[in-house]
Structure 1
Amino acid sequence: MESVPKEIKEPFPEDLTNEIVARFPVKSFLRVRSSCKAMRDLAHNPIFVDRHLKFSSQRNPSLILTDTICRVKGYILNTLYFVQNEETPDRYSCNKLGIEIPKFHEFRVMGSCNGLICLVHPMKRYEICICNPCTGKHIKIPPLIGRRDIPGNIVIGFGVVPMTDKYKVLVIIDFRDSNFVLLRQEVFVYTLGDTTWRLKGNNSVLRLGQSACKAFVNGALHWVDNANHIVSFNMDTEEFDVIPRPELELGRGSFSLRPFKGKLLILNTSFGDRIEIWKMKNYRVVESWTRIFTVNEQNIGRNIRNVEIVCFLEDWEVYMVYEHGALLRYNLQTESVSELIAIDGLPNRFDAVAHVGTLVSPRRAG
């Protein structure tokens, strides 16, 4: 019988240990880090953070939820929650994120990229914060000097330049007079790590129907404008463009955009009884648009107009939110739906965005 050694003389090689730990979901890593100094040091190692991001991005996305609590005297408090699947189809966790950002208790999530989210004050709309909700690290973006809220629209985008890992915030501002007549439009870009915003020239007025970007694909932000064109903003070249779209039956409705595995998807929500899903196989090639699925109201069992497809998962499943109060998981191939009701701590009413839990720090980004 082989004897058992009294002690292990040679531990695992450090690079092997780091490779294993890099595969931990962010929640598991943070739990281990609290009791291990070596893990705390790893969280500040840029090479390890990038490695962890690589593996995290290959998993199904999680969700960031935002709820609103109205306090006395009109005081409003927004709270963030992190919802993730615990590696089995029917087990989920919902954790309230105790993030303290001074003088920034009311916000809207306007974008999520590589574990960082862009928070914007709904009233003081030039107050912007970039935050990693899982680690609690955050930075406030310098204000647009000399700007103030006047009647008009503001559109905000947040993303990264894939080749350089430079994170940028885009702001498009409509300046209108007291009668809401458009006077001019200005475009600003801020790169994390810089000290000031840059004013970008823009020859045409963009009339984007959505203030938040929900499709960051191929290094570009994408919106649907008021004329049902797909408008893109390349984070590297900082240029706007129009992406060709397929011929869609829209009627009086419109469509929205989502990403999936680096591809741009269209959600045609203009019908009263279904949602059509289109995928662009080859970026910017109009002939490559293909209708891949149809979500019928009868399979959801709920009013389709009150259903929002938040994000796409492996095996062609999706997370949905119904009437800001219920989470659904729907299989596009089997046309089966389940409501995720056994989640402790889920708020009663919420908004949801797709999110990848990472260790990326906004202080090191840029």
Structure 2
Amino acid sequence: MSANQVTYGFCYSEVSREYKVLRLVVREQIHISELKIYTLGVGEKWRNVGEVPCPTRYNFCQVIVNGALHWIHNEDDDRIYSFDIESEMIKSLPAPPGLETPLCALKILEVGNCLCLTYNNIRRFAKTDIQLMKEYGVAESWIKDTILVNSIPRNFRQCNLNPILIWKEGQILIQSYRSLDSYRPESKRFI
């Protein structure tokens, strides 16, 4: 009997106005992943989309950008994967060029309707890296910002920094465990 990992995702179609539940079953011993979809209120069965070449092992990130649900493979891989909510197709997107940190160690987010990757390593390297894909699907559109520990407010230094949104003149609203603060990429300072 093979060990299976089951992962669920949830998304909403703006076009059809339907909610969809995704179920990815990773069959460990035979290295196959199957994606099934259940559309709430439509039929009573899971539909099989087929085998997935890019399994996720523990969770779908609930990151929706450009009409697609995104995730990172939890093993060494240099691609970001997406499930197009309308076409129900799985695609891959390029990781940032010259990425120093393995993609599986990064956290994927949606910030300002852009894909965002963060790597919090304040304790070891005294910095947090933020990468934004400014033009969806274009590898050359990734931009990187490094927040150095000496610019981070003291109440943020013991926590992971999570970008939430881009607002007022390109400032990035960043959340830590108990605080919110605004970061200015051009001056490399919190305000």
Residue number in structure 2 paired with 1:335: 189
**Aligned-residue offset at 1:237:** 0.9
TM normalised by structure 1 equals 0.43
Identity of aligned residues (%): 23
SS for the counterpart of 1:287 is helix
Asked if 1:286 corresponds to 2:139, the answer is: yes
Q: Which amino acid aligns with 2:137?
A: R
Report which of the two structures shows the higher radius of gyration computed on alpha carbons. 1
The answer (yes or no) to whether the contact 2:156–2:176 under 8 Å persists in 1 is no
- Backbone CA RMSD of aligned residues: 2.8
Tell me the SS of whatever aligns to 1:332.
strand
d(CA) in 1 for partners of 2:113 and 2:55? 26
Higher relative contact order (CA 8 A, sep 6+): 1
The residue aligned with 1:218 is: 66
- Aligned partners of 2:78 and 2:103 also within 8 Å: no
Match of 2:91 among 241, 257, 269: 241
Give the match for residue 263 of structure 1: 114
C-alpha displacement of 1:210:
4.8
Q: Give distance in 2, aligned partners of 1:223 and 1:172.
A: 12
Which string of whole-angstrom CA distances, capped at 9 and with x for unpartnered residues, describes residues 247-267 of structure 1?
A: 211169721211123211121
- Quote how far apart the aligned CAs of 1:228 are: 4.0
Which has a greater percent of helix?
1
Residue 159 of structure 1 corresponds to 11
Gaps of 5+ in 1: 1-149, 322-326, 338-366
Deviation at 1:174, TM superposition (A): 1.6
CA contact (8 A) 1:154 1:171 kept: yes
Structure richer in strand, relative to its length = 2
Aligned pair count reads 177
Q: Distance in 1 between matches of 2:175 and 2:33?
A: 36
State the shift of 1:192 in Å. 1.5
Cα distance per residue 1:67-97 (max 9 Å; x no partner): xxxxxxxxxxxxxxxxxxxxxxxxxxxxxxx
Which letter does structure 1 place at the counterpart of 2:149?
A: E
Query: What amino acid does structure 2 have at the position aligned with 1:265?
Result: C
Q: Which residue of 149, 156, 160 corresponds with 1:307?
A: 160
- For the structure 1 residues 172 and 252, does the alpha-carbon distance in structure 2 shift closer, same or farther, using more than 3 Å as the test? closer
Equivalent of 1:198 in 31, 37, 47 = 47
